[in-house]
Amino acid sequence: MTALSESGLVLPRYRRDPEGTHPPLDSPDYKSTGLRHPKQPLVLLPHKLTEITGPLLGPGRLGELDNDLTKQHPEEPQGQRIVVHGRLLDGDGRPVPNSLVEIWQANAGGRYKHVWDNWPCPVDPNFDGVGRTITDNEGRYEFTTIKPGAYPWKNHDNAWRPAHIHFSVFGTAFTQRLVTQMYFPDDPLFYQDPIFNSVPDEKARNRMISRFDLSRTVPEWALAFEFDIVLRGREATPFEDEEDE
């Protein structure tokens, strides 16, 4: 599709997500949104060349052990070893191959290896909590890591974040860039977490919860969780870009 027509370039467009899929920027229960959410309405950005392209970050971005967070130090980290795997898909179920997936997380006790995290839970010298990988030809990714612990924060009285892994993905277009969090099934902390609950639509919210995957557990070694990430899909038919829209 390299057509150049008189009225402009023929470009794909990306479907906008239904209302309720993403959290409102102004979500008062999550206090940090108070001074950080824009108050002016967002201006609609048409999908032109800068929006339908995006960084294709793949090989060259990885170290050898980046997808195994249990092997980045001479000793193994504390905690429950887990395999986290899934597929990166677009909104039409098509895999997104050769695409960078970045994760970061707390250790088994719920502490991040970050200078600002100083709640009384030990740092694990054998765990950095940072991983990267590239999806394969079928959009699959896999990490070996440790199940992160819940951790307290000061958002409200006795606030605890449910266990989660931060995920960052790019897809193939600027419109598809996504940072999210993967949660674990049946977490008793969901009900009191304003970040998890900031997603208005319940079905959308539940898409952030991974699935326990017995078939991918490794006997006498690791539990497994499956987490597919779905990015925005393209409009069915690319249509002509009008010159003066």
Question: Within a 10 A sphere around the Cβ of 229, how many other Cβ atoms?
Answer: 21
Using CA atoms, how far residue 32 sits from 114, 116, 156, 170, 221, in Å, is 19, 16, 11, 25, 39
Fill in the per-residue mask, 21 to 40: x = in contact with other proteins (CB under 8 A), - = not in contact: xxxxx-x--x-xxxxxxxxx
Query: Is 52 a binder of other proteins (CB under 8 A)?
Result: yes
Mark whether 164 is an active-site residue.
yes
Amino acid at 129: G
Helix (H) or strand (E) holding 83: strand 81-89
- Segment 74 to 113, residues that bind other proteins, using CB under 8 A: 91, 102-104, 112-113
| One of 6, 137, 179, 202 touching other proteins (CB under 8 A) | 179
Closest to 116 (Cα-Cα) out of 154, 146, 59: 154
Catalytic entry in 166, 177, 207, 216? 166
Query: Is 150 a binder of other proteins (CB under 8 A)?
Result: no
| Residue 211, C-beta contacts closer than 8 angstroms, at least 6 positions apart | 185, 225, 226, 227
Catalytic entry in 85, 161, 205, 232? 161
Helix (H, G, I), strand (E, B) or coil at 150: coil
Catalytic entry in 47, 85, 87, 164? 164
What is the total count of residues that contact other proteins (CB under 8 A)? 83
Mark whether 112 is an active-site residue.
yes
Smallest gap from Cβ 83 to other proteins, in A, equals 19
- Segment 204 to 243, residues that bind other proteins, using CB under 8 A: 204-205, 207-208, 228-232, 243
Catalytic entry in 112, 132, 183, 205? 112
Closest to 165 (Cα-Cα) out of 87, 94, 101, 76: 101
| One of 42, 158, 191, 215 touching other proteins (CB under 8 A) | 42
Mark whether 85 is an active-site residue.
no
Token couple for 31: 């206090």
Nearer to other proteins, 117 or 213 (CB): 117
